[in-house]
Amino acid sequence: MPNLSLRPRAVVAALALALPLGLAACGSSGGEQNTGSGSGSTAAGGIQTVSPGKLTVCTHLSYPPFQFNKDGKVVGFDVDVVDRAAKSMGLTQDVVDIDFEQITTGAVFKAKKCDVAAAGMTITDERKKAVLFSEPYFDATQALIVKKGAGVTDLAALKGKKLGVQTGTTGQEYAKKNASAGFSAVVFEDLPTSLNALKAGRVDATINDNGVLFDFAKQNPDTEVVAEFATGEQYGVAAKKDDPNAQQIITKINESIATSKQDGSYDETYKKWFGTAPGEKSTAAPSSSAG
Ligand code: ARG
């Protein structure tokens, strides 16, 4: 009996991994793996991908303005960054949604769920043990969002109150490190559920990356970002560790990021999603919507 009681989250994770395996298998004869099995999966420069002609990209939705659904399509800053890199490899980007922890642990790559992951994901020493990161492509820091007029401006003001955190994130880590402030952390699966809980008054504040919280506050004037904590984070695109093919893909992504910073396309993308040039104080994005 104890063996039958899988926790719901474990079941979801298992399903999420099983599905893409099925998808990946349908294009190949063996069904076990379809990388390296023929010219169909070989992109420019001899790069192999899990699905022929595609750069399959794992992410965790919804995380506007980095990745979110709009009119049935996944769009966002990260999507544009990876799109440029995919094109440079002669590939079309295909975005797959999955549990964030399946990405940070590298499980998605072992399961051949995707070639890379882009999820507003902070490069950390811990994660570097599990995945290979690209060069940083975005700076971020943790921030605190509350209902307007809540009178909360820092973690200390949350003593005896509830703080929403997103599971497996650096925001959750930051909350753990600062637990002595005396709040109780309420863990959510994703950003939208944590922010819905804030709006509904089920938590008193929510911690997450500044970019997404400023974006949400712009769309939801009854909320405001009251603090930023200088955690000095940087986002990277991740791929399978200790894998020459993945290394090749990451090299291409690094080249694409570097080129885009020189030819102005990076700045253009930044403006598109944040309304300002990089380095200018960004308060919100003009065009996204938290789902
Ligand atoms: N930057 C934070 C981290 O890496 C949060 C990322 C959450 N990303 C997402 N797509 N939900 O832990």
Mind listing the pLDDT tens digit for each residue in 231-244?
A: 999 999 999 999 99
**What does DSSP assign to residue 157?**
G
Mean pLDDT of the region 23-52:
55
The residues pairing with 168 across neighbouring beta strands, listed in sequence order, are none
Structure confidence by residue, pLDDT tens digits, 113-156: 999 999 999 999 999 999 999 999 999 999 999 999 999 999 99
Is there an atom of ligand 1 within 6 Å of 169 CB? yes
Pick the atom of ligand 1 nearest to 169's CA. Answer: 12
Angle, CA of 14, 19 and 22, to the nearest 5°: 125
| Angle of the 265-274 helix axis to the 77-88 helix axis, nearest 10 | 160
pLDDT at 226: 98
pLDDT at 41: 58
Is there an atom of ligand 1 within 6 Å of 112 CB? no
Q: How far is the CA of 21 from the centre of ligand 1 (A)?
A: 24
Distance CA 156, CA 154 (A): 5
Across the chain, what does the average pLDDT equal? 87
Q: Which amino acid is at 199?
A: K
Mean pLDDT of the region 188-216:
98
**3-state secondary structure at position 21:** helix
- pTM comes to 0.84
The residues pairing with 48 across neighbouring beta strands, listed in sequence order, are 42
Distance CA 263, CA 290 (A): 30
Mean pLDDT of the region 17-41:
38
Mean pLDDT of the region 149-166:
97
List strand residue ranges (DSSP E) for 111-247, in order.
116-117, 131-133, 138-147, 162-166, 184-188, 205-209, 223-235, 238-240
Is there an atom of ligand 1 within 6 Å of 252 CB? no
Structure confidence by residue, pLDDT tens digits, 105-118: 999 999 999 999 99
**3-state secondary structure at position 3:** helix
Confidence band of 280 (pLDDT split at 50, 70, 90): confident
